[in-house]
């Protein structure tokens, strides 16, 4: 009986940890006040889409701060230095 009680408490605690980790991924991050641009590295198809005037959407943060959309940099020099190595 005591084991079942501890097991249920453990499951509840783990579920709460997972919920708080996943909760932010349900709403997208929208930059309302953009004062500084960010630079990302994308496909060659991005160049043709940009020249046509289309917007590029690169998906950002998901679980626990991971960024599956790609690397983001503060300036172009940092993004170029990644490929210069």
pLDDT digits (tens, 9 = 90+) for 18-44: 888 777 666 666 667 777 777 777 777
Q: Indicate whether 61 pLDDT > 60.
A: no
Q: Indicate whether 5 pLDDT > 60.
A: yes
For residue 46, the SS3 value is helix
Q: Indicate whether 50 pLDDT > 90.
A: no
Residue 67 burial (CB count, 10 A): 13
pLDDT at 67: 58
pTM for the whole structure: 0.39
**CA nearest neighbour of 20 among 66, 64, 67:** 64
Q: How far apart are CA 66 and CA 72, in angstroms?
A: 12
């Amino acid at each position: 009986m005591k084991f079942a009680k501890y097991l249920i408490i453990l499951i509840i605690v783990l579920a709460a940890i997972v919920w708080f980790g996943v909760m932010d991924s349900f709403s997208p991050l929208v930059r309302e006040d953009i004062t500084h641009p960010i630079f990302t590295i994308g496909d060659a198809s991005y160049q043709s889409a940009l020249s046509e005037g289309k917007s590029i959407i690169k998906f950002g943060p998901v679980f626990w701060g991971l960024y599956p959309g790609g690397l983001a940099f503060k300036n172009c020099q940092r993004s170029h230095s990644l490929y210069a190595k």
